[in-house]
Amino acid sequence: MLTKFETKSNRVKGLSFHPKRPWILASLHSGVVQLWDYRMGTLIDRFDEHDGPVRGVDFHSNQPLFASGGDDYKIKVWNYKLRRCLFTLLGHLDYIRTVQFHVEHPWIVSASDDQTIRIWNWQSRNCISVLTGHNHYVMCASFHLKDDLVVSASLDQTVRVWDIVALRKKVASPGGPQRPSELDLKIPQMNADLFGGGDAVVKYVLEGHDRGVNWASFHPSLPLIVSGADDRQVKLWRMNDTKAWEVDTLRGHVNNVSCVMFHARQDIIVSNSEDKSIRVWDMSKRSGAQTFRRENDRFWILSAHPNLNLLAAGHDSGMIVFKLERERPAYASHAIMLYYVKDRYLRSFEFESQRDNPLVSVRRPPGGGNNSGFRSLSYNPAENAVLINSDSEGGAYELHVLPKDDGRSGEIGNEPRRGQGVSATFIARNRFAVLDKSTHQILIKDLKNEVTKKCVPPDSTVDAIFYAGTGSLLCRAEDRMILFDVQQRAAMAEITTPLIKYVIWSNDMSLVAMLSKHAIVIANRKLGHACTVHETIRVKSGAWDDRGVFIYTTLNHIKYALPNGDSGIIRTLDNAVYVTKVIGNVVHCLDRDGKNRRIQIDPTEYVFKLALVQRKFDQVLSMIKSNVLCGQSIIAYLQKKGYPEIALHFVKDEQTRFALAVECGNIEVALAAAQALDEKETWHKLGVEALRQGNHQIVEFAYQKTKNFERLSFLYLITGNIEKLQKMLKISEMRADVMGQFHNALYLGDISERVKILESAGHHPLAYVTAKTHGLETDAERIAEELREAGAKVPDVDTSVGELLTPPEPILKEDNWPLLTVSKGFFEGVLSGEVSASQYQMDESEMEGVGGDWGDGDDLDLGIGGDDDEMEKDDPLANILPGGDDEENRSEDGSDAGWDMEDMDLPAADLVSGSQPGSPTGMQAGEMFVAPSAGVDPRQKWTAKSAVAGEHVAAGEFDGAMKLLSRQLGIVNFKPLKQMFVDCAFSSSGVLSGSLSEGDTAKMRVILSRNWDSSDPIGQVKPPNLLSTLPILEEKLKQAYRKVTEGKFSDALNLFVNIIHSITLLSVETRREVDEVKELLAIARDYAVALRIELNRKEVAKSDPNRAAELAAYFTHQNLQPIHSSLSLRSAMTIFYKMQNFQTAAGFSRRLLELNPPANVATQAKQVLQVCEKQNKDAVELNYDSRNPFVVCSGTLTPIYRGTKDLSCSCCGAKYVVEKKDAVCVVCQLGKVGADATGLVVSETQTSSRR
């Protein structure tokens, strides 16, 4: 058995596979119907409107519907897209055991303990036939896939087959009734219920079981029936047009047989039983083939997928989805040939000619092949030999030497040689290795299957070996792969990996891809790690193409992975395939039936990315010009990889164009985009970039557009533009901007104007001081007189220390400053048309005749020895300068003025490294001190590639962290996080004090990394140490739980909100921890919402008792720990009992008793329930419906019933009514209601998997 998915839940009584999507329905004994995605392993939805166990459930074949039947005598039809029950069918008088849709007609068949079978028209919502005849509980009923038959099983020890031809003709034929009401008139409902209609008649009654029959089902294509009963037997029946008879009895179960069915694709029967086993029976041999047991769980139900080789079984504590055998064919490819096993033959397939030949017959492994089939295949091209591995008997292999002409002449190969062991693989021309698990040795054998050498594996946990080149093996240990040299018997290298299942080498053996269940590890020949690609869906197969790109498949996609870690989707798949070879844009693969398929793919995206990685810019340029690429993903990729100038070529959106142009320093494109957008924020960013480049004309233009008068004035000051500065003074006067006037007057050095402004503003003492200091005696006397008249003191002024502040004269008064050089890369120059691509290729002929003043290093008097070749070799600029012989850069006299060689300002380090003792300058060592270049702050490395906000905060990059939190969680209110930001930044570094000399001290700041180890390589920077960690938050959660239990709700609420705030700045290592963080966030949110409800209830308890009662009821529906749920239910029960709402109080009592409370609480709840059931009515009508599922709006604290549109907080996920859109969440106080956000990121594993 290959278990694909498993759940833990209440007892599962009903199962149904969706025919197209990877979904399964499970109906539970608790009354809940669960909808699972078994491929992703996630719960999609749950439906809980039934009262009591739900025993039957079934998907419709093509409508978004499913039906369920339970112990409440109701059949409910649900729409899973709308997530609600559409209607209920009433008519049965006892428990409903099974329900099933007809594949063609709008019918549902149901079986019930009322001893009847009913057929319903779910479109008209009426019962169209009642099948009576059983005289005990009817345990199951089902339609035949093709014929007009129904089979039923009953505890009256019979299996009945019903003929419904008349019903089909009556209801579905063109001459039949057109409206349901006509049909209803033909058969009085009472008679139909009591005696059944004449539309369905018993065709056969199968008697043979000694006890009640629990299940019976049709074969999908043959006239066979299988049944299972409480007599522990499985019986096989055959039928024809006139009779039905027992064929055989299958014995083996030791308790009641719960369910039995035919396998859709194999000649086997599958049954399960209350003896805790699933048994597989061979129909041809009429005997048991396999048995699978559970220790403690009885099995109750089986379900088979209608199209895939999948089965599901429900038991006491959940369900399992499983396969009986592996569907992956064993195969190996070499050059243009594929060798694979199909239908007990080893076959060859030629990729070019599509010729398929059977080569030799292979023996089917013992045990029926179920999970013991052929696992892998190894091919030896030198000897034309094949090794086939199987799982039978703990591991076995077959060695076949193939005919030289691949079997085309009819020549029969040699008799195969067989042996025990796992992972047999060729390692040399005439040697192969096999792992003997019994002795835990690697055996080296020749083609005669004789042992020539024995090796001890490099690790005691090695359980599989893979080919790794001649004389080498890759050994799989618990958590790593080890490169093992067979000759030296030594481990050469190892790499940490998940459990590896398959190993695929590139054509030149330079790269290896190691495939696990959910990850691909790519490494080089010596196991140097290149990248790891994570997948949420199972990885199935892969192959390297000729370019060095790994093409792999998951269950539903063909994808690619580059050696640098970039990955993406090439196309989707309807069914899983196994890649055998990639040739150009064709993927050759095998499907699960062993058929060869050719799939066309578009390699443009990964070829483009590979060319960028390998810096094949001419290839990139041709792809850009051919316009074969487009889409936001390519733009984001180029921007991320540092090629914004290429991304600029693809973008039409002006906002994106502006951002890219600013990033790559293309001020012209940025200006054009800013003019098109004409937004204040855009002009501000343009001004910042233009100022960085020194283009003050565009800075001026940007400031004018944003009306930023203060910055304009300062810009005119530093550029020496006195005329415009005077204009700014006039503008300030017109705007009545006193501070602006004073600043402009200060910049201009206009004392009279400053005095005038101070007077008009009422600052006469300041005006007097200004006038007196700068020698304006007349104005000073006038102002002094005014001060005396006003009775104010005249300030004392020391004129000897005053000095006039005048603006300095600028050095340059040209149109623009010397601009910062923004080097244009290869693409920007070519794409803009300023240069041709050929200009980037310097031809040797262009350098002919260059000498003298151009290339003589002595003329520069730099003291650099050696010839020109050495200088070019050492010079970091040697291969960067474009266009070696540009005429525009030469002066008429041939001097070097055009190149500004004397102003090169070469780095001193370069000069020293190039100095030699015999240089003309005679510079001696030690005459010049060269300060070492500043290193990179480790905190910059924290933020370089990190998308975790907490690491940005630790590095002090608050702005970047806020942008990340805004994008990921939609946070708009950062005030509650302010102190956390500061604390986090301080906690990530420390200060070490030291003494330089007497009286002098020095302080050195050191970073505090997480998981630091003394053996770490020098220069390695690990993630920062953060103030909050997952264990700390888990401890806070326990404290909060205690506060809730103690009834300190305000303190508990503060703790839960603090946990939510701390999670936004958290950083963890593994995917498991990421899941724990998300679970912690959900718990904190649920409790915060619940406590707000309870605190609000206490506030209004006296003023509005009805509202307080509603809030008490809402409190009981929050997702809390059992002890807290018990306390909330007890409180609500008391409140509603006192206000004489007995019916609702009874509901709370029942829910309280289900939680198994302490004896005294249970006694009280039973007493309340007894009283309430006698009254059974509510005295006060409230806004509370316990039967309609709801969530509570965190803003209004009112219920949002299922089917009503709601919104969520972008940060914590709290629910709100639509009227609260764009409001700040009152739970976390951070996010915005209804805002879009990408989701919480607390680990680099999340971003690497997205890539």
pLDDT digits 0-9 by tens, 33-52: 999 999 888 999 999 999 99
Return d(Cα 350, Cα 709) in angstroms, integer.
77
The band of 442, judged by pLDDT with boundaries at 50, 70 and 90, is very high
- Judged by phi (left if over 0) then psi (alpha if -120 to 50, else beta), residue 528 lies in beta
Q: Which residue has the tokens 């001060």?
A: 787
- Phi and psi at residue 1059, in whole multiples of 5°? -60, -45
pLDDT in tens, 379-411: 999 889 999 998 877 789 999 988 776 555 555
For residues 340 and 376, the answer to whether their CB atoms sit within 8 Å is no
Give the CB-side neighbour count of residue 1001, counting CA atoms within 13 A: 5
* Dihedral sign (CA 734, 740, 745, 747): negative
Cβ count within 10 A of residue 505: 17
pLDDT in tens, 767-818: 888 888 888 888 888 888 888 888 888 888 877 777 776 766 766 666 666 6
What pLDDT does 373 receive? Answer: 72
* Range 713-725 average pLDDT: 82
* Dihedral sign (CA 1104, 1110, 1114, 1115): positive
Return d(Cα 553, Cα 22) in angstroms, integer.
17
What pLDDT does 845 receive? Answer: 40
Return d(Cα 236, Cα 226) in angstroms, integer.
5
Q: Which residues does 55 contact at the CB level (< 8 Å), separation at least 6? A: 13, 14, 27, 69, 70, 71, 95, 96, 97, 98
Mean pLDDT of the chain: 82
Q: Which two tokens mark 900?
A: 């500004």
For residues 1230 and 977, the answer to whether their CB atoms sit within 8 Å is yes
pLDDT in tens, 52-100: 999 999 999 999 999 999 999 999 999 999 999 999 999 999 999 999 9
Task: Give a three-class secondary structure readout of 473-496.
Answer: EEEECCCEEEEEECCCCEEEEEEE
What pLDDT does 879 receive? Answer: 35
* Range 574-599 average pLDDT: 91
The band of 1011, judged by pLDDT with boundaries at 50, 70 and 90, is low
pLDDT in tens, 466-521: 999 999 999 999 889 999 999 999 999 999 999 999 999 998 899 999 999 999 99
Determine the straight-line distance between the first and last CA of the chain, rounded to whole angstroms.
34
Residue 598 has pLDDT above 60, yes or no: yes
Please work out, in degrees rounded to the nearest 5, the angle formed at the alpha carbon of residue 1028 by the alpha carbons of 1024 and 1029.
Answer: 80
What pLDDT does 817 receive? Answer: 65
DSSP code for 1233: B
Return d(Cα 589, Cα 723) in angstroms, integer.
77
The band of 846, judged by pLDDT with boundaries at 50, 70 and 90, is very low
Return d(Cα 384, Cα 413) in angstroms, integer.
11
Range of lowest pLDDT (118-122, 198-202, 918-922): 918-922
Most confident of 176-180, 248-252, 1016-1020: 248-252
Three-state secondary structure call for residue 31: coil
Three-state secondary structure call for residue 1110: helix
DSSP code for 167: H
Q: Which two tokens mark 327?
A: 């569907």
- Judged by phi (left if over 0) then psi (alpha if -120 to 50, else beta), residue 1101 lies in alpha
* Range 192-204 average pLDDT: 68
The band of 1023, judged by pLDDT with boundaries at 50, 70 and 90, is confident
The band of 945, judged by pLDDT with boundaries at 50, 70 and 90, is low
For residue 1032, give the amino acid letter.
I
* Range 354-378 average pLDDT: 75
Cα distances from 597 to residues 351, 587, 593, in angstroms, run: 10, 8, 11
For residues 569 and 548, the answer to whether their CB atoms sit within 8 Å is no
Cβ count within 10 A of residue 1000: 8
For residue 826, give the amino acid letter.
F
Task: Specify the pTM.
Answer: 0.56
The band of 907, judged by pLDDT with boundaries at 50, 70 and 90, is very low
For residues 227 and 215, the answer to whether their CB atoms sit within 8 Å is yes
Return d(Cα 78, Cα 317) in angstroms, integer.
25
The band of 1224, judged by pLDDT with boundaries at 50, 70 and 90, is very high
Cα distances from 807 to residues 631, 730, 745, 1247, in angstroms, run: 53, 18, 10, 53
Residue 367 has pLDDT above 60, yes or no: no
Q: Which two tokens mark 1225?
A: 């969440």
Return d(Cα 347, Cα 388) in angstroms, integer.
12
Return d(Cα 678, Cα 615) in angstroms, integer.
37
For residues 235 and 221, the answer to whether their CB atoms sit within 8 Å is no
What pLDDT does 173 receive? Answer: 55
Residue 925 has pLDDT above 70, yes or no: no
What pLDDT does 668 receive? Answer: 82
Return d(Cα 325, Cα 185) in angstroms, integer.
53
Q: Which two tokens mark 8?
A: 């833990």
- Phi and psi at residue 925, in whole multiples of 5°? -60, 135
Residue 689 has pLDDT above 60, yes or no: yes
Q: Which two tokens mark 1238?
A: 């990408």
Return d(Cα 705, Cα 693) in angstroms, integer.
19
What pLDDT does 639 receive? Answer: 66
